[in-house]
């Protein structure tokens, strides 16, 4: 019997502090997959759109286990653009890691292992890719997951408020709001959230505070 070898195109695997989400600040191994069907104008990881190296699933796992981190984040690009991302997520869960998936929400998440914390980055109008949001994905979210919005301007913020209300997002999972760097003042976004008493988590990208713009982590 021929056993199929699972392969993935990997942009990089690295050890760092988680810069966002509920696990911010925790030592984490990041597995960045190559490729993304979206082109958000503020993307800070466009280097992952192409290139990378083909690796077997076993080779990826070997590199992950070389670090002592209990947390693993699978990211991109858009990691789910590679079908082999699904077995990778399950394999990492089976090994006992706390696994998170950073996804745009533009690709069906139904097959993602239920043990994975999904961080769905829904796209605002100013991103240029809001028409790619796959709203049917919301039914697969649990209280273990998170929805993230990157806010570029006041119109984005008002749109975000409307989506939270229309889709009852606060009842699904935690909602995160981030200012788009160099486009919206973090203080302004924080003031809007407090003014409107939104039940959301404000967040900045810790890795950029620590290491600057060159840290696309």
Tens of pLDDT along the chain (217 residues) come to 656 789 999 999 999 999 999 999 999 999 999 999 999 999 989 999 999 999 999 999 999 999 999 999 999 999 999 999 999 999 999 999 999 999 998 999 999 999 999 999 999 999 999 999 999 999 999 999 999 999 999 999 999 999 999 999 999 999 999 999 989 999 999 999 999 999 999 999 888 888 886 554 4
Cα 75 to Cα 11: distance, rounded to the nearest angstrom:
10
The pLDDT assigned to 205 comes to: 87
Secondary structure letter of residue 5 according to DSSP: P
Nearest Cα residue to 202 out of 192, 211, 210: 192
110-140 core/surface letters (b: 16 or more CB in 10 A; e: else): eebbeebbbbbbbbbebbebeebbeeebbeb
The pLDDT assigned to 212 comes to: 81
Could you tell me the strand order of the sheet in which 53-56 lies? 53-56, 7-17, 27-33, 71-75, 98-103, 117-122, 146-151, 174-179, 201-202
Q: Which helix (H) or strand (E) holds 99?
A: strand 98-103
| Residue 33 backbone phi and psi in degrees, to 5 | -85, 150
- Quote the distance between the C-alpha of residue 113 and its chain's center: 15
Cα 151 to Cα 178: distance, rounded to the nearest angstrom:
6
Cα 136 to Cα 126: distance, rounded to the nearest angstrom:
21
The pLDDT assigned to 216 comes to: 47
Domains of the chain: 7-211 (3.20.20.70)
The pLDDT assigned to 214 comes to: 57
Nearest Cα residue to 129 out of 40, 2, 20, 26: 40
């Amino acid at each position: 019997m021929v056993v199929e070898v699972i392969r993935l195109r990997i942009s990089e695997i690295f050890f760092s502090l988680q810069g966002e989400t509920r696990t911010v600040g925790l030592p984490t191994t990041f597995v960045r997959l190559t490729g993304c069907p979206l082109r958000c104008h503020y993307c800070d990881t466009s280097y992952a759109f192409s290139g990378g190296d083909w690796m077997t699933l076993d080779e990826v796992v070997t590199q992950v286990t070389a670090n002592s981190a209990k947390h693993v984040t699978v990211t991109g690009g858009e990691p789910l653009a590679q079908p082999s991302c699904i077995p990778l997520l399950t394999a990492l869960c089976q090994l006992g890691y706390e696994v998170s998936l950073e996804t745009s929400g533009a690709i069906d998440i139904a097959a993602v292992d239920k043990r994975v914390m999904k961080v769905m980055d829904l796209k605002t109008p100013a991103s240029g890719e809001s028409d790619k949001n796959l709203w049917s994905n919301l039914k697969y979210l649990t209280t273990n997951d998170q929805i993230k919005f990157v806010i570029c301007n006041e119109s984005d913020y008002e749109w975000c408020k409307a989506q939270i209300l229309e889709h009852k997002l606060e009842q699904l999972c935690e909602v995160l709001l981030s200012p788009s760097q160099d486009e919206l003042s973090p203080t302004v976004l924080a003031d809007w959230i407090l003014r409107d008493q939104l039940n959301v988590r404000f967040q900045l990208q810790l890795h950029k505070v620590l290491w600057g713009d060159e840290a696309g982590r």
